[in-house]
Structure 1
Amino acid sequence: MLKLKYNFSLFAFATAIVILSCVQKATNSKVKSSLEKANFEAIVNGDSTHLFTLKNPHMEVGITNYGGRIVSLLVPDKNNSPLDVVLGFDNIQDYLAKPNSFGATMGRVTNRIANGTFVLDGDTIRIDKNNGQHAIHGGSKGWRQQVFKGNQRNDSTLFLSYRSPDGESGFPGNVEVNIQYTLTQNNALRIDYTAKSDKKTVINLTNHSFFNLSGNPQNIVLDDILFVNAGYFTPVDSQAIPTGKIVPVLNTPFDFTTPIKIKDAIKRDSTSEQLRFVSGFDHNWVLDTKGNLNDPAASVYSPISGIKLTVYTDEPGIQVYTANTLDQSQKGKKNIPFRKYGAICLETQHFPDTPNKPSWPSIVLNPGEKYHSTCIYEFGIE
């Protein structure tokens, strides 16, 4: 893979603007993506929302402190034309209109918790049920709907922080979380999460960006070439709750150990019960990377644009979701409807419903301990 290279200029460092509050100062009200910063200025839950911009000579990332969301992500295609490769909206009101996950930080616990309950030190914890009889992505007051405090120090780094009060969505403990977004010199967006709690609790964070590397959400991703560095996955029941089993991917549609078009993997068994349960892929893979940030966890490549996204993480799992529930009822940037299979999500994580699966890697955070998780989205041309 040919990686794009760049160097920070001394001038950029010398003129970097230090932001000590959520208010981002900028000399231009527009970014390359044509997003209007003014359209992200609002008062939500009593706090101010804003649009922040990270950029280098080849990439630009728009992030709002509402839900810690990646709003836009511009990368050059094989013709050196910038493409926005994430789904999202061009104003804060569309994010507020209907609960959604586009580009958001998922917490306190990403993914599903069966029946919205789990036992912690003998106590039954009850989480808001916001997915039928189950809880998903932190419950009804999950962090995707909260406003973070922003601190942008330069063009390459953004810090977001949030204090989650004891009892929020039913979770115990006051939790302080910090997220650092860094646009690196090898054209990657690195996300570092840290958190601490004053009570024993559970934490499992991820970013829920919907990627379409063709730059057009009307193009389905089933023609993209996917690699997942995992010999096993966790099957689900008809309500998308993990059964507790860990099974081999060999000879199933879930085998992406060799890069393959997503639609060709499906053809191995298009009648698979697992595919039918969720109308495509919405499953957790058990990574073989053993937490090594230098070992690719997954990659996806668009033959249309030539853009390849490689994911690195220190997490034990990754959720691959092929936007099975999008139905064109919502329209995003440039008024383009979101269609079924019009994106792919690559969510680094501990396994779903882990609080109810004692044999799986734990997400318990004790007082005095520090939670840390890293996800790297690296872009290049192939």
Structure 2
Amino acid sequence: MPRQVSWLVEGGTIETIEIAREPYRAQLLNLGAALRILEVPDRDGAAANVVLGYRDLEEYRGHPRFYGAVAGRYANRIGGARFSLDGVEHRVAANNGANSLHSGPLGFDQQYWTIERHDAASVTFGLLSPDGFNGFPGNLHTQLRYALEEDGLAIAFTATTDRPTIVNLTHHAYFNLAGEASGRSILDHMLQIPASRMTPVDATLIPTGGYREVVGTPFDFRTPHAIGRDIGAEDEQLRLGHGYDHNFVIDGDFGKRRRVATLFDPGTGRVLDMESTEPGVQLYTGNHLANGAPGTGGGIYAARGGLCLEPQKFPDSPNKPGFPSARLDPGATYRHDMAFRFRVAATVKEAFA
């Protein structure tokens, strides 16, 4: 059985770490290795924080919104909070009904990461997740490096283990390119995802194991359009997710960093090109954001006040033999390279050229 853990992280001091490289500035936390602030200029050169977070640092303890945090050791959902490796069943902590979401309570988002290196434009965090914690096998050593570059923020994950285990690490930033404090929803943001398939889910948001072609459905973002255009469409998958909360299968080979999504806010001209080496990206449109604690800028976020684009292995991969494997063995190194690349555009055509 998984080791019993509290829902609230106890003790420790939440520290802020800042990095900067013109025209960007970022503030990070040692709790969850979270990205709390990311300032990005608009088409007029005015900077604003484009990621959601809490005003009060103490709110980061134990709240299940994962603002800007690392999701792991297995991001997204594991059906029935169990999986098998080499014929041995491992039961992990359930925190989403009968399922495990982002590895249960006190996942990587609620761990204090060690600051291993820090300079003006980068910081490297480290974490040891012990064998058996939340039910996962193997002592997992993880490193995460944030580095501000000339066109945005690069993020690199590596991990090693001393026992066969599963690993799926992603970054859980919520974006609003109009600005975190703008009060605007993300429904008029325009999105493009180069994915001709998605993985449909059951009533508990666990993938069925099959694939669904996006053509002719509200999930076809191959041609960019406003997120709000189809979010209220009559579609069983949208009903189950209360909007978008689904994994898209990125076209082409994975393993090398390439563009997995482009997001554009016509009002400010900010464009985000998301890059990743992973095979899928989870789109979550902040359907349950309302009525939380005050955000970084002091306001209360409304539903769909931000969205997540989470590059990763597919949800419930350990229980779906037809999905890309999340297995990690001793002697091997898990790697996930991703980046938030920013630019500005005057028109939709320019944004998606």
Question: Normalized against structure 2, the TM-score is what?
Answer: 0.92
Larger mean Cα displacement after TM superposition, 45-54 or 321-330: 45-54
SS of the counterpart of 1:55?
strand
Aligned-partner residue type, residue 219 of structure 2: F
Alignment partner of 1:136 out of 101, 104, 107:
101
Residue matched to 1:242: 207
The Cα of 1:236 is off from its aligned counterpart by: 0.7
Please tell me the root mean square deviation across aligned C-alpha atoms, in Å: 1.4
Counterparts of 2:140 and 2:192 in 1: how far apart (Å)? 35
C-alpha spacing 1:280/1:333, structure 2 compared with 1 (3 Å): same
TM-superposition CA deviations, 1:266-305 (whole Å, max 9, x none): 36xx110110111100000000142265632101101121
TM-superposition CA deviations, 1:150-172 (whole Å, max 9, x none): 13432111100000000010000
Alignment partner of 2:329 out of 366, 373, 376:
366
The Cα of 1:329 is off from its aligned counterpart by: 3.1
Aligned-partner residue type, residue 296 of structure 1: R
Counterparts of 1:99 and 1:285 in 2: how far apart (Å)? 23
Conserved? CA contact 1:256–1:265, under 8 Å: no
Counterparts of 1:354 and 1:217 in 2: how far apart (Å)? 37
Alignment partner of 1:85 out of 50, 68, 86:
50
Aligned pairs for 1:68-83 within 5 A = 68-83=33-48
Larger mean Cα displacement after TM superposition, 129-138 or 325-334: 325-334
Larger mean Cα displacement after TM superposition, 236-245 or 283-292: 283-292
Aligned-partner residue type, residue 204 of structure 1: N
The Cα of 1:352 is off from its aligned counterpart by: 0.2
Counterparts of 1:164 and 1:329 in 2: how far apart (Å)? 29
Residue matched to 1:26: none
Residue matched to 1:323: 286
The Cα of 1:141 is off from its aligned counterpart by: 2.3
Alignment partner of 1:281 out of 232, 244, 257:
244
Counterparts of 2:320 and 2:212 in 1: how far apart (Å)? 15
Residue matched to 2:129: 164
Residue matched to 1:57: 22
Alignment partner of 2:165 out of 191, 197, 201:
201
TM-superposition CA deviations, 1:163-184 (whole Å, max 9, x none): 0000010000001000011111
Aligned-partner residue type, residue 329 of structure 2: N
Number of residue pairs aligned between Structure 1 and Structure 2: 336
Counterparts of 2:16 and 2:292 in 1: how far apart (Å)? 25
Counterparts of 2:183 and 2:134 in 1: how far apart (Å)? 35
Structure 1: 5+ residue stretches without partners? 1-43
Aligned pairs for 1:138-287 within 5 A = 138-185=103-150, 187-215=151-179, 216=181, 218-266=183-231, 270-287=233-250
TM-superposition CA deviations, 1:120-140 (whole Å, max 9, x none): 111111010011111000111
Aligned pairs for 1:7-46 within 5 A = 45-46=10-11
Counterparts of 1:289 and 1:91 in 2: how far apart (Å)? 42
Aligned pairs for 1:284-303 within 5 A = 284-291=247-254, 293=256, 295-303=258-266
Conserved? CA contact 2:36–2:53, under 8 Å: yes
Aligned-partner residue type, residue 126 of structure 2: S
Counterparts of 2:267 and 2:23 in 1: how far apart (Å)? 19
Question: Normalized against structure 1, the TM-score is what?
Answer: 0.85
Counterparts of 2:221 and 2:107 in 1: how far apart (Å)? 31
* Structure ID, larger Rg: 1
Aligned-partner residue type, residue 37 of structure 2: S
SS of the counterpart of 2:259?
coil
The Cα of 1:50 is off from its aligned counterpart by: 1.3
Counterparts of 2:201 and 2:306 in 1: how far apart (Å)? 21
Conserved? CA contact 1:217–1:337, under 8 Å: no
Aligned-partner residue type, residue 110 of structure 1: A
SS of the counterpart of 1:178?
strand
Larger mean Cα displacement after TM superposition, 322-331 or 200-209: 322-331
Structure 2: 5+ residue stretches without partners? 1-8, 346-353
Counterparts of 1:292 and 1:176 in 2: how far apart (Å)? 21
The Cα of 1:193 is off from its aligned counterpart by: 0.3
Larger mean Cα displacement after TM superposition, 154-163 or 91-100: 91-100
Larger mean Cα displacement after TM superposition, 207-216 or 89-98: 89-98
The Cα of 1:46 is off from its aligned counterpart by: 5.0
Counterparts of 1:245 and 1:365 in 2: how far apart (Å)? 24
Conserved? CA contact 2:62–2:106, under 8 Å: no
Counterparts of 2:309 and 2:277 in 1: how far apart (Å)? 14
SS of the counterpart of 1:179?
strand
Aligned-partner residue type, residue 328 of structure 1: N
